[in-house]
């Protein structure tokens, strides 16, 4: 771990910028990479402000946030950004072809000993490891919002070395996270497989007319102690996002029954995508 001094994070979206901030707070010289410099500048400003708000609430250490600002830089040129990186974390769109193209470039631009981690929650790293030295490739899956959520799933495949897994696990701990090691590649890893089972059962109860979405959510929050019910969570993450995940699950498993339910498909057709459109299972108005 003493050798992990430089980290590059690919992608300036919500996840990428927060992962970059975590790396900088952990004492690493961190470069956030995206093709658009204006987007990089905006993402850096936004994540620094978010971290400062979390520090004011006592969720992050204020001193670490202040020091991280000096360590967090941006770079639109991929080759320059990753040339000397000890660890590269990919956080771009959930598209297999895009990720494969990126990892092909990383295999060319990085040192042979640079660890290459994908933040993907659904695409296992063996799909991206057709590059030189595949033993350095793994999943390092953060949860949204990464600044606050403590869990990180570290997933290695048959191609991944134990040293890579241990180094990534230690890096997560250095970031203040609680890592778990998934010993085999499997769609959805641990947490998302469990929440997907909850989603599936909740939708089944709803479609059978057993209970309303509101009452199912109430049963889960008050009976099981969950902070949010499954239908409210679907609205929060986006109905269309979950449809995409279920389609990918059916494709990856070869089981058409694992695809999206008719209820989710109907909501997407109606433009009811959840909070971002103001309505999903629930109505949110202008909020």
**Of 119, 133, 139, 141, catalytic:** 141
Whether cis (ω within 30° of 0) applies to the bond prior to 145 is yes
**Of 121, 126, 139, 242, catalytic:** 121
Distance CA 159, CA 162 (A): 10
Query: Is there a contact between 147 and 18 (Cβ–Cβ < 8 Å)?
Result: yes
Distance CA 140, CA 112 (A): 19
**121 labelled catalytic:** yes
**141 labelled catalytic:** yes
Q: Give the HSE-up count for residue 159: Cα atoms under 13 Å, Cβ half-sphere.
A: 20
Q: Three-state secondary structure along 158-209?
A: CCCCHHHHHHHHHHHHHCCCEEEEECCCCCCCCHHHHHHHHHHHHHHHHHCC
**192 labelled catalytic:** yes
Indicate the angle between helix axes 230-237 and 239-253, nearest 10 degrees: 100
**Of 125, 126, 153, 242, catalytic:** 153
**Of 90, 192, 242, 249, catalytic:** 192
CA angle 47, 110, 10 (to 5 degrees): 20
**144 labelled catalytic:** no
- Catalytic residue ranges: 121, 141, 153, 192
């Amino acid at each position: 771990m003493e050798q992990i001094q430089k980290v590059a994070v690919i992608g300036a979206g919500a996840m990428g910028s927060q992962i970059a901030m975590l790396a900088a707070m952990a004492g690493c010289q961190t470069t956030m990479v995206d093709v658009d410099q204006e987007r990089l500048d905006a993402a850096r400003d936004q994540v620094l402000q978010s971290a400062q708000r979390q520090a004011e609430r006592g969720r992050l250490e204020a001193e670490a946030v202040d020091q991280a600002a000096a360590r967090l830089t941006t770079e639109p040129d991929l080759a320059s950004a990753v040339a000397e990186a000890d660890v590269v974390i990919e956080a771009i769109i959930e598209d297999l072809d895009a990720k494969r193209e990126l990892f092909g470039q990383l295999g060319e631009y990085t040192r042979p000993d640079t660890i290459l981690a994908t933040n993907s929650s659904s695409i296992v790293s063996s799909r991206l490891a057709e590059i030189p030295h595949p033993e350095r490739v793994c999943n390092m899956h953060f949860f949204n919002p990464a600044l606050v959520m403590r869990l990180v799933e570290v997933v290695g495949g048959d191609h991944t070395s134990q040293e890579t897994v241990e180094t990534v696990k230690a890096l997560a701990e250095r970031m203040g996270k609680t890592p778990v090691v998934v010993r085999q590649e499997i769609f959805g890893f641990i947490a998302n497989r469990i929440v997907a089972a909850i989603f599936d059962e909740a939708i089944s109860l709803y479609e059978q007319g057993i209970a309303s979405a509101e009452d199912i959510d109430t049963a889960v929050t008050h009976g099981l102690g969950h902070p949010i019910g499954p239908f409210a969570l679907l609205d929060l993450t986006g109905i269309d996002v979950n449809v995409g995940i279920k389609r990918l699950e059916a494709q990856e498993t070869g089981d058409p029954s694992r695809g999206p339910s008719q209820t989710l498909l109907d909501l997407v057709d109606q433009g009811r995508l959840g909070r971002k459109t103001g309505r999903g299972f629930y109505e949110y108005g202008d909020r």
